[in-house]
Amino acid sequence: MEQEIETGERILMEAEQLFFRYGVKSITMDEIAMHLGISKKTIYQFYKDKKELVYKVVETRMMKQQCEIAEIAEKAADPVQEILMTSDWLKNVFQNMNPFLLMEVQKYYPRAFSVFQAHRDKCIFVNIYNNIKRGIDSGLYRNSIDVDTIARLRMVCVDATLNPENFPLAKKNLNELQLQLIEHFLYGICTLKGHKLINKYKQIKEEE
C-alpha cells in the first residue's frame, strides 16, 4: 500500500515539473512515463487519463500554495513585510514556469482550471483583502483606500501577468514582471510610514 502511494506521488511530482516547464498541451502520458522510467500502463493504474492527472496536479499545487501563503502571513511582522515576503515567494513559484501554462489549462482542462479559480477567489483575494485592512489599521496604508476595490485591482494585475499576451516582451521573465507590479501596488497604497518601512526592509535585504 505504501509503495502504491509512493508511486502515485512520484507520478504527480514528475507530471507537475514537466507541466510547469513545458505546459500541459505538449506533454504526453508517454513522456511522463519515460521520465519516470515506468510504463504508461502503470500511470493509468493511478490516473485514468491525462485530464485526471492535470486536475490532481493543479489541486495538489493549490493546496500547497494555500499553506505557504498562510505561513507567510503568520511569519510576517507587518502587512508590508508580508507583501515583500510574498514577492520573494512568487519568484520560486514562477521559476521555470511556462508562461502559457494557465492559458492551456483554461482552454483544454476547464475542470482543473476551476480549481485554480476557486483558489484565486477564496485564498489569494481574501489574503490581499485582509492584508490591506491590516495595513490601514496599522497606519501603513492610506485610510482613503476602498479595500474591496483595491484588492480587486490587485487581482486584475495578478491575472494580467499570467496571460503572456498582455506582456509579450516579458514572456520569459514573469519574476521581473511580478516584482514591478508588486512594487507599483505597494508604493501606491502606503503612507509615509509604510514607505519608510519598505525602504527599511529593502536595505536589510541588500545587506544580507
**Number of domains making up the chain:** 1
**CB-CB contact of 175 with 94 (8 Å):** yes
Model confidence at 208, in pLDDT bands (50, 70, 90)? low
C-alpha grid cell, residue 125: 483575494
**pLDDT per position as a tens digit, 125-158:** 999 999 999 999 999 999 999 999 999 999 999 8
User: Which domain covers residue 167, as residue numbers?
Assistant: 50-207
Phi and psi for 23 in degrees, rounded to 5?
A: 90, 165
- Domain with 125 in it: what CATH number? 1.10.357
pLDDT of 185:
96
Whose CA is closest to 14, among 1, 37, 3? 37
Higher pLDDT, 128 or 165: 128
pLDDT of 183:
92
pLDDT of 156:
93
Q: Distance (Å, rounded) from C-alpha 53 to C-alpha 15?
A: 8
Q: Is the residue at 9 inside a domain? A: no
Q: E strands of 23-154, at which residues?
A: none
**CB-CB contact of 94 with 177 (8 Å):** no
Q: Is the residue at 38 inside a domain? A: no
**CB-CB contact of 190 with 140 (8 Å):** yes
**CB-CB contact of 132 with 150 (8 Å):** yes
DSSP character at residue 120: I
Q: Distance (Å, rounded) from C-alpha 51 to C-alpha 30?
A: 14
Q: Is the residue at 3 inside a domain? A: no
Q: Is the residue at 61 inside a domain? A: yes
Residue 199 has pLDDT above 80, yes or no: yes
Phi and psi for 47 in degrees, rounded to 5?
A: -135, 120
Q: Is the residue at 21 inside a domain? A: no
Q: Distance (Å, rounded) from C-alpha 106 to C-alpha 112?
A: 8
DSSP character at residue 48: S
Q: Is the residue at 59 inside a domain? A: yes
Q: Is the residue at 2 inside a domain? A: no
Backbone dihedral region for residue 96 (phi beyond 0: left; psi -120 to 50: alpha; all else: beta): left
Q: Is the residue at 29 inside a domain? A: no
Task: Please list, residue by residue across 71-108, b when 16 or more beta carbons sit within 10 angstroms of its beta carbon and e when fewer do.
Answer: ebbeebebbbbbbbbbbeebeeebeebbbbbbbbbbee
**pLDDT per position as a tens digit, 86-96:** 999 988 888 77
